Amino acid sequence: MKSQIILKPGKEKAIKLGHPWIFSGAIHRVQNAEQPGTSVDVCDHKGQFLARAYYNPKGSLAARIFSRQAGQELDQAFLERQIRAALARRPALRPGFQTMHRVVASEADFLPGLIVDQYADHLVFQILTAGMENHRDAIIEVLKTIFSPKVLMERSDEAIRTKEGLHERKEILIGSHDQARTVAYENGMALTVDTWEGHKTGFYLDQRLARQMVESYARGAEVLNCFSYTGGFSIAAKRGGARRVTSVDESRPALEILEGNWRQNPGNEDCQMENVRADVFAYLRQLREQGARFDLIVMDPPKFVSDRAHIDRACRGYKDLNLLAMQLLREGGILATFSCSGLISRDLFQKVVFGASVDAGVDLQILHQLSQADDHPLLLSFPESLYLKGLLGRKVSLS
């Protein structure tokens, strides 16, 4: 018996427009797909074939489309073709200048549930769904074939996997723990990446373009980099000619890597480095009490919300941070502020930052709207692929 899902009338529309997700509420009937991750035909209510997808009875995001070709299997040949195609769409890496990038960005590269990141000779992959998990062996084979990595890591240690009935998994497939760190280049910056202990797959590749932008505003500035992680923005500021860079993060290992990154990158050699291990919310209040002031503040917090019910709370968090930042900025100073919460739209984020500016009694002249780097593309047919929003603005007083 064929494995298939039959949609309710009208529910084929979004799929015909290219959207890859099918929620359980859109499904009329499921046939022969009890095993999580089973490949199925997706059909409209009349039984007309629409696409190939994998189905998981657990959770409300029930199926994700991986092909629009009848009979297509999610097999090794298909995976190899798709991963090679994704790689071919990326600009070529340049030794000594750009040696890290995201190669496969899940749905946005037509491989839902799979992320592949390259950091010099390290390759890191992450599997987020049962549909991809079922093809893990083939994925590993393909990655070995295409990239011949010196180190191959699996960083499927994301809590979201539990929604798919999967456990978190972290494994070294090629290499060993003592090879976990590598130096990779972003836009000419030599950055140490720990692909085993680091956050996500090791580094926040999505902020590449924003770091370049911050570099261009850093000349002579006293910079405060909030949620610095390993210092991508801090090093960019040093290169841009900052006078002093204060980096704040709660993670000690991240700040240790930051120190090494600072030493291994040229820039303004007189630039002072201060690294503070602290909770950013508390530290900003402390700075405000001390009357500290900065010329450039970067505010790049972690994701605050993954559940619609908590959007309001997240907005209060963003507002708090941005209000404090605007109070700490000198007149004419620059704020680069971000939200990587997919559930918060660009509009909403801008409103929250506006609310903060009103409370601070200042205005913000927006100079740039920022977003995720181009190796994290946004599919027009899949607006959910936009998650990182940023505003870079100048503080001006209301007159």
| Residues marked as catalytic | 340
User: If binding is defined by CB under 6 A, does position 332 make contact with ligand SAH?
Assistant: no
User: If binding is defined by CB under 6 A, does position 187 make contact with ligand SAH?
Assistant: no
Smallest distance, ligand SAH to C-beta of residue 156, A: 19
Tell me whether residue 52 or residue 319 sits nearer to ligand SAH (CB atom): 319
Tell me whether residue 173 or residue 209 sits nearer to ligand SAH (CB atom): 209
Tell me whether residue 230 or residue 275 sits nearer to ligand SAH (CB atom): 230
Q: Of the ranges 24-32, 67-75, 279-287, 289-297, which one interacts with ligand SAH (CB under 6 A)? A: 279-287
User: If binding is defined by CB under 6 A, does position 280 make contact with ligand SAH?
Assistant: yes
Tell me whether residue 208 or residue 244 sits nearer to ligand SAH (CB atom): 208
Helical axes 346-360 vs 311-328, angle rounded to 10°: 50
Tell me whether residue 63 or residue 321 sits nearer to ligand SAH (CB atom): 321
Q: Of the ranges 250-258, 305-313, 348-356, 366-374, which one interacts with ligand SAH (CB under 6 A)? A: 250-258
What is the C-alpha end-to-end distance of the chain, expressed in Å?
A: 73
- Residue type for 53, please? A
CA distances from 299 to 55, 122, 273, 281 (A): 38, 29, 18, 11
Tell me whether residue 306 or residue 381 sits nearer to ligand SAH (CB atom): 306
Smallest distance, ligand SAH to C-beta of residue 338, A: 8
Between vectors from CA 183 to CA 179 and to CA 184, what angle results, nearest 5°? 125
Smallest distance, ligand SAH to C-beta of residue 365, A: 23
User: If binding is defined by CB under 6 A, does position 253 make contact with ligand SAH?
Assistant: no
Choose which of 204, 262, 304, 349 interacts with ligand SAH (CB under 6 A): 204
The C-alpha torsion from 337 through 341 and 343 to 344, rounded to 10°, is: -10
Residue 149 and residue 143 in contact, taking contact as beta carbons nearer than 8 Å = yes
Smallest distance, ligand SAH to C-beta of residue 303, A: 9
User: If binding is defined by CB under 6 A, does position 232 make contact with ligand SAH?
Assistant: yes
Rounded distance, CA 248 to CA 244, Å? 13
Q: Of the ranges 55-63, 88-96, 110-118, 221-229, which one interacts with ligand SAH (CB under 6 A)? A: 221-229
Rounded distance, CA 284 to CA 364, Å? 19
Smallest distance, ligand SAH to C-beta of residue 71, A: 42
Which parts of 2-136 are beta strand (E)? 4-7, 21-23, 27-31, 38-43, 49-55, 61-67, 100-105, 114-119, 122-127
Residue 80 and residue 103 in contact, taking contact as beta carbons nearer than 8 Å = no
Count of chain residues binding ligand SAH (CB under 6 A): 18
Smallest distance, ligand SAH to C-beta of residue 230, A: 6
User: If binding is defined by CB under 6 A, does position 254 make contact with ligand SAH?
Assistant: yes
Who's near 100: CB < 8 A, 6+ residues apart? 93, 117, 118, 119, 120, 184, 185, 186, 191, 193, 203, 205
Choose which of 39, 156, 207, 372 interacts with ligand SAH (CB under 6 A): 207
Residues, the chain, total? 399
User: If binding is defined by CB under 6 A, does position 250 make contact with ligand SAH?
Assistant: yes
Smallest distance, ligand SAH to C-beta of residue 282, A: 8
Who's near 137: CB < 8 A, 6+ residues apart? none
Between vectors from CA 372 to CA 16 and to CA 132, what angle results, nearest 5°? 55
Residue 353 and residue 316 in contact, taking contact as beta carbons nearer than 8 Å = no
Tell me whether residue 120 or residue 139 sits nearer to ligand SAH (CB atom): 120
User: If binding is defined by CB under 6 A, does position 302 make contact with ligand SAH?
Assistant: yes
Rounded distance, CA 136 to CA 225, Å? 38
Choose which of 229, 294, 304, 349 interacts with ligand SAH (CB under 6 A): 229
User: If binding is defined by CB under 6 A, does position 110 make contact with ligand SAH?
Assistant: no
Smallest distance, ligand SAH to C-beta of residue 127, A: 22
3-class state of residue 276 by DSSP: strand
User: If binding is defined by CB under 6 A, does position 249 make contact with ligand SAH?
Assistant: yes
> What residues are paired with 125 via a beta bridge?
116, 154
User: If binding is defined by CB under 6 A, does position 251 make contact with ligand SAH?
Assistant: yes
Per residue in 274-313, is it b (16+ CB within 10 Å) or e — as a string? ebbeeebeebbeebeeeeeebbbbbbbbeebbeeeeebee
Interface residues toward ligand SAH, by CB under 6 A: 199, 204, 207, 227-230, 232-233, 249-251, 254, 279-281, 300, 302
